[in-house]
């Protein structure tokens, strides 16, 4: 439980003081609960034996000072007092519940934000080994469980422990032997339920894993719908889904059933106890009148004790069941926040800004000055858990305004080199310097702000063309002139004119309503819109027809000298205009020079 609590405190964003205040509020309602119930028994005794008013000094004092004419009126007044305490308790209870739900749902939202922030800012290599289904599962489902199956049960466990404790003290004062029997029954019920604690944890793990699997299956089958349809493997995915759905249903239903077990067991045991208690008392000729006050307090206490004790046990079961989710969140957050994987430290400062402010600040950052050249020195990169180096002692110098091309066979290391230049992969050795200043450490974001990137496969949001080009810029900050220029250069004008909603036309998920070439042109327009000094194009024109490719290549060529261009190409025709061409082989540069020097007489295959 101690480690469970320390993990909970790490994951929850709230200050310990807030949690302490919450616990105090819970405690207050519990005390009021016990007090209200504790008053009902003596009140019933008073109602049946009004002369008790004169036997208690403070009751007598109250009666004398109340100025009432009869004990019946006085007892009725005391009854009103009990109703008042109950009313206050109910009101307070309602307010505390409101506060608790508000608190835990706010925590859920903050946790979602914290995870997303972590995933977006963590070192890129983290994502090479993670499945997006698991990240979605963490942000949506595990945070939900953290709210409803960790935070709320923990608070309710703390509160119900106090209620149960207070009620037991109350019962002990009334009758020690009867209370001891109840305690024995509760202990038996708890011991029985506790036998299933490992099963509870296992069912939680199974439920969470099957959820992740289901997201993965949906991603694969619907994400690759064309392939699924053409190959005709719908039933394969359906049967996989069926297996996971059944796994989820089985473990979920078992857990739900066992959740109700404490209530059923305690209820049965308590009824048995009360019936036995009355029967034994009658058999041994106890005066039924003497039983009334004991039984009434037991009856009322049972109304509260049964739910409190069963809720306490169920909450403990839920905590067990959600331990897998808590562990997942805890270890993920630790990995994201406490390791070297955190790539952009400065972002924490910006993180607290409003989204628009964040973009403005992040776009305005400029610390590195690129006036002369980029020098790549002795670069080595090896992917995690791979023995072969993807980049091997690579040296490269790019002058400002120069266009260079990286060519080489498939697997030579071109994309890896570009990913290192983009700052996505951090090299094992070596450095990249801009006018002598390293791009790493605090400079990485400044460096990335200089780069426009057009990848082989353009990612498009399910949104309008305008938003896809201005990617990540709020609507009210989109510069329309800049947008028009980017559209014109990327040869998108004609397409936009044909569309009924023009730039406001939605492209569909991953751009399904556009052709491959149109998608690529939106990617080009995006890089141009952001007006970065360095443009990196990874096979950026491969999906275009010859005529469009020529037009775009011409437009990109016209940018040379004003922009520094780094091109990856398989088709040698696209690199003809480059100032320098580098040939990569096994992660090394094996040849470099002008197009004529390098390409003449050489064929490059992909």
Cβ–Cβ < 8 Å for 443, 524: no
* Residues 104 and 82 sit within 8 Å (Cβ to Cβ): no
Q: Could you tell me which stretch among 26-34, 176-184, 414-422, 512-520 binds ligand ATP (CB under 6 A)?
A: 414-422
Distance of CA 154 to the CA centre of its chain: 20
Nearest to 350 by CA among 449, 493, 207, 266: 449
Two tokens, residue 246:
């059944």
- Report, in Å, the least distance between residue 386 CB and ligand ATP: 5
415 touching ligand ATP, by CB under 6 A: yes
Which of 535, 531, 526, 527 has the alpha carbon at shortest distance from 401? 535
Minimum distance from CB of 534 to ligand ATP (Å)? 19
Cα–Cα distance for residue pair 468/459, rounded to 1 Å? 9
Least Å distance, CB 105 to ligand ATP, is 38
Measured from the CB atom, the residue of 126 and 203 that comes closer to ligand ATP is: 126
Between CA 438 and CA 434 the distance in angstroms is: 6
Residue 504 DSSP class: G
Query: Are residues 23 and 29 in contact, defined by beta-carbon separation less than 8 angstroms?
Result: no
Q: Does residue 351 interact with ligand ATP by CB under 6 A?
A: no
Residue 558 near ligand ATP by CB under 6 A: no
Part of the chain binding ligand ATP (CB under 6 A), chosen from 86-94, 411-419, 434-442, 470-478: 411-419
β-strands 534-538, 429-434 pairing: unpaired
Among 114, 248, 414, 530, indicate the residue that binds ligand ATP (CB under 6 A): 414
Asked if residue 1 binds ligand ATP (CB under 6 A), the reply is no
Strands of the sheet containing 403-408, edge to edge, are 451-454, 534-538, 564-568, 403-408, 580-585, 588-593
The CB-of-438 to ligand ATP minimum distance in angstroms stands at 23
Q: Is residue 408 a contact point for ligand ATP (CB under 6 A)? A: yes
What residues contact residue 39 under an 8 Å CB cut-off, 6+ apart? 81, 82, 85
3-state per-residue secondary structure call for 201-218:
HHHHHHHHHHHHHHHHHH
- CB 450, min distance to ligand ATP, A: 22
The stretch near ligand ATP (CB under 6 A) out of 27-35, 404-412, 469-477, 552-560 is: 404-412
Q: Which residue in the set 3, 253, 410, 480 belongs to the binding site for ligand ATP (CB under 6 A)?
A: 410
The distance of closest approach from Cβ of residue 394 to ligand ATP in the complex, given in angstroms and rounded to an integer, is 12
Does residue 128 belong to the site contacting ligand ATP (CB under 6 A)?
Answer: yes
Of these, 86, 383, 471, 595, which contacts ligand ATP (CB under 6 A)? Answer: 383
Establish if 471 lies at the interface with ligand ATP (CB under 6 A).
no
Stretch that binds ligand ATP, among 200-208, 290-298, 408-416, 542-550 (CB under 6 A): 408-416
Contacts of 130 (CB under 8 A, 6+ apart): none
Measured distance CA(50)–CA(284) in Å, rounded: 27
Q: Does 124 bind ligand ATP (CB under 6 A)?
A: no
Selected from 412, 420, 487, 583, the binder of ligand ATP by CB under 6 A is 412
At its nearest, how many Å lie between ligand ATP and the CB of residue 589?
12
The residue among 199 and 409 lying less far from ligand ATP, judged by its C-beta, is 409
Residue 461, H or E segment: none
Residue from 390, 405, 473, 525 touching ligand ATP (CB under 6 A): that is 390
What single DSSP character describes residue 411? T
- Counting contacts by CB under 6 A, is residue 411 touching ligand ATP? yes
CB of 587 to ligand ATP, least distance (A): 7
Show the tokens assigned to 397.
Answer: 């110098």
What is the Rg, in whole angstroms, of the alpha carbon atoms belonging to the chain? 36
Residue 386 binds to ligand ATP (criterion: CB under 6 A)? yes
Angstrom distance (rounded) from CA 20 to CA 271: 37
CB of 390 to ligand ATP, least distance (A): 4
Of 262-270, 311-319, 405-413, 508-516, the window that binds ligand ATP (rule: CB under 6 A) is: 405-413
Question: Mind giving me the DSSP string for 483-518?
Answer: HHHHHHHTT-HHHHHHSTTGGG-B--GGGTTS-HHH
Q: Which residues of this chain interact with ligand ATP, rule CB under 6 A?
A: 128, 383, 386, 390, 408, 410-416, 606
């Amino acid at each position: 439980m101690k480690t469970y609590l320390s993990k909970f405190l790490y994951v929850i964003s709230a200050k310990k003081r807030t949690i302490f205040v919450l616990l105090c509020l819970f405690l207050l309602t519990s005390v009021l609960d016990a007090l209200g119930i504790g008053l009902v028994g003596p009140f019933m005794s008073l109602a049946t034996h009004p002369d008790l008013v004169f036997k208690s000094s403070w009751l007598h004092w109250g009666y004398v000072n109340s100025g009432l004419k009869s004990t019946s009126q006085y007892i009725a007044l005391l009854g009103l007092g009990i109703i008042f305490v109950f009313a206050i308790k109910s009101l307070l209870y309602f307010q505390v519940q409101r506060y608790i739900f508000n608190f835990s749902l706010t925590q859920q939202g903050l946790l979602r934000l914290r995870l997303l922030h972590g995933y977006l800012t963590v070192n890129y290599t983290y994502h090479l080994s993670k499945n997006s289904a698991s990240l979605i599962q963490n942000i949506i489902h595990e945070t939900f469980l953290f709210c409803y199956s960790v935070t709320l049960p923990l608070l309710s466990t703390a509160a119900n422990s106090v209620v149960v404790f207070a009620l037991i003290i109350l019962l002990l004062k009334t009758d020690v032997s009867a209370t001891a029997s109840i305690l024995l029954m509760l202990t038996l019920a708890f011991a029985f339920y506790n036998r299933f604690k490992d099963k509870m944890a296992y069912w939680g793990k199974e439920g969470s894993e099957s959820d992740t699997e289901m997201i993965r299956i949906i991603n694969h089958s619907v994400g690759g719908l064309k392939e699924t349809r053409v190959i005709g493997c719908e039933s394969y995915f359906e049967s996989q889904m069926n297996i996971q759905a059944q796994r989820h249903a089985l473990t979920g239903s078992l857990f739900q059933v066992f959740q109700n077990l404490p209530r059923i067991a305690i209820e049965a045991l308590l009824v048995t106890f009360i019936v036995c208690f009355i029967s034994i008392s009658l058999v041994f000729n106890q005066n039924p009148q003497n039983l009334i006050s004991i039984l009434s307090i037991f009856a009322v206490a049972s109304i509260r004790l049964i739910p409190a004790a069963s809720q306490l046990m169920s909450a403990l079961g839920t905590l067990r069941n959600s331990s897998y989710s808590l562990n997942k969140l805890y270890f993920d957050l630790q990995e994201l926040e406490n390791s070297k994987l955190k790539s952009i430290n400065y972002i924490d400062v910006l993180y607290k800004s409003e989204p628009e402010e964040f973009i403005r600040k992040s776009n305005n950052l400029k610390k590195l000055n690129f006036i002369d050249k980029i020098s790549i020195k002795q670069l080595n990169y090896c992917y995690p858990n791979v023995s072969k180096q993807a980049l091997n002692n690579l040296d490269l110098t790019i002058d400002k305004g120069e266009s260079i091309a990286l060519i080489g066979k498939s697997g030579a290391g071109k994309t890896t080199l570009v990913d290192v230049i983009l700052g996505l992969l951090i090299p094992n050795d070596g450095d990249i310097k801009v006018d002598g200043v390293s791009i790493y450490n605090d400079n990485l974001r400044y460096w990335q702000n200089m780069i426009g990137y057009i990848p082989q496969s353009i990612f498009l949001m399910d949104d309008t063309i305008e938003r896809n080009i201005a990617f990540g810029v709020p609507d009210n900050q989109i510069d329309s002139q800049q947008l028009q220029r980017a559209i014109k250069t990327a040869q998108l004008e004609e397409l936009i004119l044909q569309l009924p909603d023009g730039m406001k036309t939605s492209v569909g998920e991953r751009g399904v309503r556009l052709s491959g070439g149109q998608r690529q042109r939106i990617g080009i327009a995006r890089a141009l819109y952001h007006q970065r000094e360095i443009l990196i194009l990874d096979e950026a024109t491969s999906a275009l027809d010859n005529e469009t490719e020529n037009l775009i290549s011409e437009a990109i060529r016209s940018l040379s000298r004003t922009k520094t261009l780094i091109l990856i190409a398989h088709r040698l025709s696209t690199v003809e205009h480059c100032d320098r061409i580098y040939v990569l082989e096994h992660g090394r540069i094996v040849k470099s020079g002008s197009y004529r020097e390098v390409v003449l007489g050489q064929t490059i295959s992909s």
